[in-house]
Every structure is written in structure tokens, then in C-alpha cells.
Structure 1
């Protein structure tokens, strides 16, 4: 986090979903103010604004927006370009999206604004507290002044602030999907298989923790274990047979086995 004084900023928050619901209170806790919250669902915008002292609920983005130092677009990737086009931005407004895979060039069609990226590398779920100082915040901007403002904003929240261009951020986002979304999906499959066998899901907890700890402490390919690495054909065949009732999972098992063996 910033070790030097910073100027508190007024934030316009467009979006009231998972990210905005975590980010809004974090910005306020860091000393900033949220000028307004907008969301297509007015009730969700109102609920979030109620948690943010002084925040207005904005009903229409086609009317001139209230003043803000930074406007943050906490909306789905596919909604960013339409929202940019539909909003009446103040001339020279600093507008940043929070998307991992969306390039800075999405702002090219809006020359009246200064575009930027404020991408938090984290998964957001209701009821889960976020340790913001540990969250990498990835910044990109169309100019030095815009970049400086976003870097200062990021530094007020996190100890891990990075300048990344769009190509780097895209690779990071793909890596994050493998590490988070795909891993979570595989854990879901494991949970379902245990449920079929009437076994408690917590049986896997020590194994999962050791796997993650080991992978974070070493190059993951170097510490791979299991029947694929051993080329244990009888076990691989037994596992395939055990998955006969789930052909999609059976095919996924075979694909992952082949991918592991290709790295040997």
C-alpha cells in the first residue's frame, strides 16, 4: 500500500455486482469517497449505495454524470463497450474498466474520455472477505496522468500494484482461469464423486491444501504426482471404468492425463 500521503478521490462506481460490492466498501475504508453507484438493477444499486456514506444512486447514465475523479466500470466484459457508448461522460473523464481480458483499446471509440484499466486479480463471491492488501492490482492507462491517478488509487488498497499492458494482462487472465476457475471445477467433480460414494468432502481437504502449498513453493510441473506421471496403465484403466457413468468427466480425465504425460 502507499507509504506516502495520497489525495482521497471521488469515485463513480458503475456496477453493483460481486466486484463492486467488495470494492466500494474497500475504497471507502481506504479514505476515498464513492460519489454514486449505478446499476441496471436499481435495487442492487440502492443496496450497495446504502453501505457507502454519501453515495447517490444514479438512475440514468444518459444524463450528465455527477463529477468524479475516476469512474470505475465494474460490469461484465461484454457490457463495457455498450456502457461506454450509452453514457454521457464529462469531457476528459478518467474511466477505467476492471476486466482481465478486455484490452485498453475498448476506449478508442470514446476519444472524449481517458481510458484505463484497474484489474483486481482475485475471485469475488458473496460472503467472502477480501484481503485487499494482498490482491494484485493491474494498471494500464492511456496517458501518464491517468496512469499516475490509477496507480495511486491502487496503491491505497494493495501492496501488489503492477503496470501491465493488454497482452500481458490477457495472458495473466488465462492463467488465472486455469488456476482458479478450472481448479474449482475439478474440485466440484471430486466433490460429486465423493457424494456418489457417500464419502465426506472434507476427506480431500489435507490433500488439496498440500497440493496447493507444494505448487506455490515449487514449479508445479516439477512436483506432479499420480498415475499419469507413473504411466500406471492398470490404475488409469480402472479410473476410466469408474467414470463410465460420466462420459464427459471420463473424457476430461483422459485429456488431463495426456496433458500431464506430455510435460514429462
Structure 2
């Protein structure tokens, strides 16, 4: 059983804390800049104390996990006081391992879960890829061991590859969700159900993981169907910001379709 101090009480921490407890570990302290947030999470973790203090020099633990927004990690490290030789790891996809370099007394690591987290949805940790990096072999071994207790997908991933993975994840997750939000609004304005899109979206995702996505691109932009593109742009006249986005994506699809033309047969419907 490891004693793991959790620094953060947001979406990642709220799912990671209970997962650690279910794996047989103990979370004795939950930190957040907002005491109420720390208390909510601490109440879900047996024996956990909530607090807003970052002087952790007397709070001995096997691991200090920073589950805070990327931009907050450097400031948090600068403010916190850890025991000498403490193993401190962050859960960020974009923050480099080198963020620990100014703190000679710390052993730095990365424990990055490649997943989107929401307070209202329970994540199946067995399916979440966990990307591990550490400054020394012992730290890496501990983080790998912990990761294997939570997930069936664990890998050593160095900072450059992890940062590339994070960018790819934004394109694969955050941007499509934004586009789905646009679709939801357009259908609501038309008096139609968003559920109409579900079979189409699921087929698109399934196909993208069965074939290289660029080779199965469909739609009017891929076909260079200018009359349809003009009609779509006219339909977006009341949403100029989305019209601009439509034009940018159309240009990108056109250019990529030309590049992959021998493998792309298009689609007569969408």
C-alpha cells in the first residue's frame, strides 16, 4: 500500500483519487486552492484530510501526485515544500519532465492518463492509456507499477512523444467535441434531434480506426462539390464565426484529399 498525496481536486483528481483507493492505496491528504473542493474529494477517500496548505515537508508520502491544470503546475511546484528526495509526479500531457529540473531535492515524474474526464461520468481506468516518464529508474519503476495496477495500457513515453500525443489528442477529442456542439446548435435551430447524427458519428469513428483516416475522407469538400459547398456557406450566414471555420476546414480537406487522391474514392452521399 502506497501513501499518495493528491494535489488537485478537479476532474482528473476526482476520478484518480477513488481509483487509487480501489487499487488498495491510501490518500491521506487532498490539496486544492479552494478548501470546499478539497473537502468534497476528501470525503470520498477514507481517512483523507483536506487542506489548502502547500507546506508538505512534514507530510511524508511515497508519492505526491499533481493533478492540476497544465498552466498551474510550474507555479504549484514553486510554491510547494516537499520532503527531501520526495517523488513528485504530474498528470499533464503537455508539461515537460524538465519542469522539475530547478528542484534538485525532488525526484520528478509523469503519470499522464490519456483520457477526457468529467465529474458526471465514471471512467473505466482499465482502458485508459497511462504514459509514464521519470527522472530516475526507481521512480520510473514505482510509477509503472502503480500504473499497471490501474490500467491494462501502460507505456514509457518521453516528453517529446507525450507532447505530440497531447496535440494529437486535442485534434481527436477536443476539436471534434466543439464541432459536435456546433452541430447540436444547428440541429436545434432547425427543430431536429441531435440523436439523428449518432449512427453517422459512430460509423465515422469506427471507420477511422479501421483505415488511415485521410484515405476514407468523404463529404462535399473531398469531392470538390462546389455547389453544395456554396449552399452550406449560405446556410451558415447567421453564424459568421462558424462560417469561417467551415471554410478553413473545407480548404484543409480539399488540400489533403488532393494529396491522397489515389486512395480516396470519396462518397456519393456525405
- Is TM-score (shorter-chain normalized) higher than 0.5? yes
Partner of 2:37: 44
Contact kept in structure 2, 1:65 and 1:88, CA below 8 Å: no
Q: Whole-Å Cα distance in 1 between the matches of residues 221 and 151 of structure 2? A: 40
Partner of 2:61: 68
Contact kept in structure 2, 1:11 and 1:32, CA below 8 Å: yes
Unaligned runs of 5+ in 1: 1-7
Q: Secondary structure at the match of 1:125?
A: coil
RMSD (Å) for aligned C-alpha atoms: 0.9
Contact kept in structure 2, 1:100 and 1:119, CA below 8 Å: yes
Contact kept in structure 2, 1:9 and 1:69, CA below 8 Å: yes
Partner of 1:184: 177
Partner of 1:247: 240
Partner of 1:13: 6
**Which of 233, 237, 241 is 2:230 aligned to?**
237
Q: Whole-Å Cα distance in 2 between the matches of residues 57 and 14 of structure 1? A: 10
Q: Whole-Å Cα distance in 2 between the matches of residues 186 and 193 of structure 1? A: 11
Q: 1:59/1:231 Cα in 2 relative to 1: closer, same or farther (>3 Å)?
A: closer
Partner of 1:209: 202
| 1:171 and 2:140 matched | no
How many pairs does the alignment contain? 257
Runs of 4+ in 1 over 6 A off after TM superposition: none
Structure 1 residue 65: deviation in Å? 4.2
Deviations 1:51-78 (A, max 9, x none): 1111122341135241110100011111
Q: Whole-Å Cα distance in 2 between the matches of residues 113 and 188 of structure 1? A: 42
Partner of 2:92: 99
Q: Whole-Å Cα distance in 1 between the matches of residues 241 and 51 of structure 2? A: 45
Partner of 2:24: 31
TM-score by length of 1: 0.95
Contact kept in structure 2, 1:97 and 1:116, CA below 8 Å: yes
Q: Whole-Å Cα distance in 2 between the matches of residues 186 and 98 of structure 1? A: 27
Q: Whole-Å Cα distance in 1 between the matches of residues 142 and 58 of structure 2? A: 20
Select the structure with the greater relative contact order (CA < 8 A; seq sep ≥ 6). Answer: 1
Partner of 1:58: 51
Q: 1:162/1:125 Cα in 2 relative to 1: closer, same or farther (>3 Å)?
A: same
Partner of 1:195: 188
